[in-house]
Structure 1
Amino acid sequence: MEPVTAPQSLVVAATPPETRARGHFRGQGLLLWCSIAAAVICAIGWYRAVRVHENNQAILWPLNAVIQPDRETRLIVSDGNTMLRLLGDKELTLDQYLASNFRTSLVPTHLPPNISRLVDYISDSQLTSFADLVVASSIAKVAGRSGHPIQIYSARNLNLRELDDGNYIFIGGPTSDPWVGLFTGKLNFEVVEDGVGGKMYFRNRRPLPGEQATYEGLPRTGSAGEEYATISLLPSSTGRGNILILQGLRQEGTEALGEFLQNSADHAQLEKALNIHEGSSTPVYFEALVHARVVAGAPLSISVVATRTIQP
């Protein structure tokens, strides 16, 4: 008689006890490592969230109105080509500046060869002022720490249609950055140049009690004395961004604004002058006239002289 053999599908191989134990420990080890990995990922996410929050908190107002995570920020520095107006003794409007022949329209037709070479060099170069570079560098560092870098452009490379979207920071007044002329009608403090290359001052269009009708700054760049500048924050015409204008009568005034925007005490001074309460979430559009005492070309003792709120 042949022995009875169990069907193959019913045969179960016995697993040695030590093999089952090793498999059990491997499963526990894998579970442990997965838990550790998940904890590390969560910790990294939490750390990044905290850092982003801290960095965003580090941006003082009004810079945080133009450096934002959901909008591109473009910083526009002045154009050295505007200096050519001194050769032809001509004022320069934005319409003239945007014309393709604006350089030749400012320069006299007959110039000595050495002056002509200098004009060509200025025309072909992307020149700006040292004060603009100082302010742009300071703002770029603040934006970089926040994780929202800005793009820096010369005024000559800006297109009018681009102003419809995004945040913009303009450095310089209308004589060095004609784009600022677009917003002059919305501001109370207007930059006035007494003849091409002449003395410069701010005209107070609607003086309030205790204010002066005009505020005259330094006679020239590099001198010592009293200097004035303005900080202006406005909404864009489309409402899809904000505009920050930093303009000094001379380079020292513009440079003073760069220091003013980074100093927490000056920040508190500006909020107090505008009667902004701590914790207020309502954006405030404004312009502020700032005074600086200048010694050896460096701005000192910066203070707010007058302010205006701007209705959006």
Structure 2
Amino acid sequence: MGSQLNAPVEEGLDEPSVEERRQLIDRVAASAQFRRSARLRDFLLYVGGQSLKEGRPEIHEQEIGTKVFGRSPSYDRSQDNIVRVNATELRKRIELYFATEGGHETLVLEIPRGGYKPIFRRRVPGTPLLPEMAAETETVLETSDATPMPPRSRPSLIWVGLCVMLAIACAVLLVQNLTFRSASTGWAGRPTVELFWKDFAKGQTEIDIVLPDASVTLSEEITHHRMSMNDFLDHNFINQAEQASLSPDRVRDLQGIFGHTLVMLGDFLAAQQILALTPMLPSLRLQQARSYTTDAIKQNSFILIGGRKANPWMGLFDGQMNFSLDFDTERAESLSHVTNRHPRPEEQAVYTPRMDANAFAGYSVIAYLPNPSGTGNVITLAGTDSEATRVAAEFLTSETSMAKFRSTLKVKKFPHFEVLLKTSRLSGTSFNAEMVAYRAYPDNN
């Protein structure tokens, strides 16, 4: 991503005063991008304040580690990447501010890669960021940090290579998705789909599609520690490394992983299925789980993609649901399964994926529920693997599937509901889905 999203900057404009720069730093630090991250806000305020001092030279990593993160003055930067990891996230938050609520700012700041001292530049008057550019900013996946990392062993390179490949794949899919959206034909031939989605979006001007963060999943598979909701909301990812007894190489792996926002292919394709509905729905926006906010959860209608292992926001709704996507607490890398909390006579209590050389069977859970404040709706899509999540999105956008489900419910208008799907594939064939159980809540909608 280019500096400040390639916002035009006019040469020869007057130099911003110290007070102008100070006020800009304060506005950025007080924005929604930093509201729930005290550590990143302190980082910004410290380097911003130092940059205002006349003649101040470059701000060094060791200084920030000591002043902002409480490290000892002699701590070993080759073993502790905390400043570099947080700097990557800080740059992304600053860019997101100027692409969204700070889009009106005529003065912009950035922290160039390879250094930590903010610079300030004038934006050319009358050239606000385009809405599409702002939307893209929310989904760009960083693929590297310019600060060189210490030499890595072969296992470390494998993890970093996986991160980079996933990030590149998602960036390519984003470009394909934008083309797909513009070519979409809307609701043609899908009256049941139209009925459901228009009712879901009623009264809303914007709908958020919140993508999961596979960085969380990877970290849990390395550390065998669950990430708490508080650490996720505060972007305190480094706690994962501090809680586990890991080798220096594995600690650096974790720090590198959290320098990227990763989305699995099936999860992104699930979002793509829904984005194809754009022409007849309110504005649909892709959001990252790690930058979503509790205010948005309370007030908006939105779609959560991925299980709570990769999208911790899912945990807020788990207590309301009969079908729960669960994991083996002893083995973070194990396959997930679906727990049926109140099974009916013809249903199983647990649905476990099956995989062999010739066939694969997985499960996905769709929930259509009210949002926490009761002012809108939420859809959750979660599968025992990312392909099962994609199939769940396909169910909600398929006229055949939704018409059959509506007939099963014997209703004119869809109530809130849960659906459990079994996804299966024989070797060499495509996936297909079968509804194996459901719950309807007609009094809740």
TM-score bin (small chain): 0.7 to 0.9
Q: Which amino acid aligns with 2:391?
A: A
Determine the C-alpha separation between the residues in 2 that align with 1:54 and 1:92: 43
TM-score, normalised with respect to structure 2: 0.52
1:232 lines up with 2:367 in the alignment: yes
Aligned to 2:215: 81
**Cα distance change on mapping 1:92 and 1:104 into 2, 3 Å:** closer
Instruction: Select which of 386, 390, 393 maps to 1:258.
Output: 393
Determine the C-alpha separation between the residues in 2 that align with 1:284 and 1:292: 24
Determine the C-alpha separation between the residues in 1 that align with 2:275 and 2:345: 38
Q: Is the 8 A contact 1:193 1:201 kept in 2?
A: yes
Aligned to 2:285: 151
Aligned to 1:176: 310
Greater share of strand residues, 1 or 2?
Answer: 1
Determine the C-alpha separation between the residues in 2 that align with 1:124 and 1:297: 37
CA shift at 1:123, angstroms?
A: 0.8
1:124-146 Cα distance to aligned partner (Å, 9 max, x none): 11211111111111211212x21
How many residues in Structure 1 have an aligned counterpart in Structure 2? Answer: 255
Determine the C-alpha separation between the residues in 1 that align with 2:393 and 2:272: 9
1:227-270 Cα distance to aligned partner (Å, 9 max, x none): 11011000112121100001101112101112222221111222
CA shift at 1:223, angstroms?
A: 8.8
Structure number with higher relative contact order (C-alpha < 8 Å, ≥ 6 residues apart): 1
Aligned to 2:32: none
Q: Is the 8 A contact 2:361 2:424 kept in 1?
A: yes
TM-score, normalised with respect to structure 1: 0.73
Q: Which amino acid aligns with 2:300?
A: G
**Cα distance change on mapping 1:92 and 1:292 into 2, 3 Å:** same
Determine the C-alpha separation between the residues in 2 that align with 1:130 and 1:53: 25
Determine the C-alpha separation between the residues in 2 that align with 1:306 and 1:61: 22
Q: Which amino acid aligns with 1:227?
A: G
1:284 lines up with 2:415 in the alignment: yes
1:209 lines up with 2:345 in the alignment: yes
**Cα distance change on mapping 1:80 and 1:103 into 2, 3 Å:** farther
Q: Is the 8 A contact 1:78 1:128 kept in 2?
A: yes
Aligned to 1:307: 438
Q: Which amino acid aligns with 1:259?
A: E
DSSP 3-state at the match of 2:295? helix
CA shift at 1:164, angstroms?
A: 2.0
Q: Which amino acid aligns with 1:81?
A: S
Structure 2 unmatched runs, 5+: 1-184
Determine the C-alpha separation between the residues in 2 that align with 1:176 and 1:151: 19
Q: Which amino acid aligns with 2:367?
A: S
Q: Is the 8 A contact 1:60 1:267 kept in 2?
A: no
**Cα distance change on mapping 1:112 and 1:52 into 2, 3 Å:** closer
**Cα distance change on mapping 1:294 and 1:252 into 2, 3 Å:** farther
Q: Which amino acid aligns with 2:269?
A: V
Q: Which amino acid aligns with 2:221?
A: L
CA shift at 1:219, angstroms?
A: 5.4
Larger Rg belongs to: 1
Determine the C-alpha separation between the residues in 2 that align with 1:270 and 1:80: 31
Determine the C-alpha separation between the residues in 2 that align with 1:297 and 1:237: 43
**Cα distance change on mapping 1:175 and 1:224 into 2, 3 Å:** farther
Q: Is the 8 A contact 1:84 1:103 kept in 2?
A: no
Instruction: Select which of 132, 145, 148 maps to 2:267.
Output: 132
Determine the C-alpha separation between the residues in 2 that align with 1:58 and 1:306: 20
Determine the C-alpha separation between the residues in 2 that align with 1:254 and 1:167: 20
Aligned to 1:198: 334
CA shift at 1:303, angstroms?
A: 1.3
DSSP 3-state at the match of 1:176? coil
Determine the C-alpha separation between the residues in 2 that align with 1:138 and 1:297: 23
Cα RMSD, aligned residues only: 2.9
